[in-house]
Amino acid sequence: MFLIAGLGNPGEKYMRTRHNIGFLILDEIAGDISWNKDKYAQADYWSGEFLSHTAILVKPHTFMNLSGKAIKELMDRDGIDMNRLVVVYDDIDLPVGTFKLSFDRGAGGHNGLKSIISELEEKAFLRIRVGIAPVDEEGKAIRPTDTSSYVLKEFSKTDLDKDLALAKDIKEAIKTFMEFGKEVAMNKYN
């Protein structure tokens, strides 16, 4: 069984913010599923057959900085191995409209990842980092000076469309990871 988590903050106020791209991408790749609520894990989740594999899709409702609590609860409850965890989240250092896969890295200043690493006491899991940074004329990321404010602002329609257009490739990257492992997925999609 795999656990695929999209990170974000709960509530209408945050729905279309840059920090919620993990939720938004998960909604795109999941399609028309019916989300369930798990009061113990404090998350929306769905479990079943996903991309020909048994999986749990989860959107923690603990707010970003406590995402690890919900993920740990579901992993422990369902006996999911660390090497079957995928986390989709925003990356302020990648240009909007891009994504990268990484494995066994630190949190890179991302509080949601810090929480996951702290709760699981492990960092060896697959990350799908979705770019939210503005770009210069050459398409290179420009890191905003006030990152806290920037990530909590709503996407422009253009930037949101660029990131949501990645959903098909992200879904294929997850499928490749499920079928062939992290090395094959990272070589193909990075």
Residue entry with tokens 């422009």: 156
Is it the case that residue 153 has pLDDT exceeding 80? yes
Q: How far is CA 78 from CA 71, 106, 163, in A?
A: 11, 25, 31
* pLDDT higher than 80, residue 129: yes
CA dihedral 7, 10, 58, 182 (to 10 degrees): -10
d(CA 174, CA 177): 5
Q: How many CB atoms lie within 10 A of CB 62?
A: 19
Token pair, residue 177, equals 């990871």
Q: How far apart are CA 86 and CA 82, in angstroms?
A: 9
For residues 122-151, give the mean pLDDT. 95
Task: Give the long-range contacts of residues 9-15, CB within 8 A, separation 24 or more.
Answer: 9/63, 9/64, 10/59, 10/61, 10/63, 14/152
Structure confidence at residue 72 (pLDDT): 96
Residues with catalytic function: 19
- The string of pLDDT tens digits covering residues 13-64 is 999 999 999 999 999 999 878 888 777 778 998 988 898 999 999 999 999 9
Mean of the per-residue pLDDT values of the chain: 95
The span from the CA of 80 to the CA of 5, in Å, is 13
pTM above 0.75, yes or no: yes
Q: Which residues pair with 57 in a beta bridge?
A: 4, 46
Task: Place 91 in a pLDDT band, splitting at 50, 70 and 90.
Answer: very high
- For residue 182, the model assigns a pLDDT of 97
Which is it for strands 43-50 and 36-38: parallel, antiparallel or unpaired? antiparallel
Segment 97-117, tens digit of pLDDT: 999 999 999 999 999 999 999
Domains along the chain with CATH numbers: 2-189 (3.40.50.1470)
pLDDT for residue 59: 95
Q: What percent of the chain has pLDDT over 90?
A: 88
């509080």: which residue's tokens?
Answer: 111
User: Is the separation of the CB atoms in 34 and 89 below 8 Å?
Assistant: no
DSSP, collapsed to helix, strand or coil, labels residue 184 as helix
Using the structure block, give the residue that is written with the tokens 């996951």.
116
Which amino acid, one-letter code, is at 20?
N
**pLDDT value at residue 38:** 75
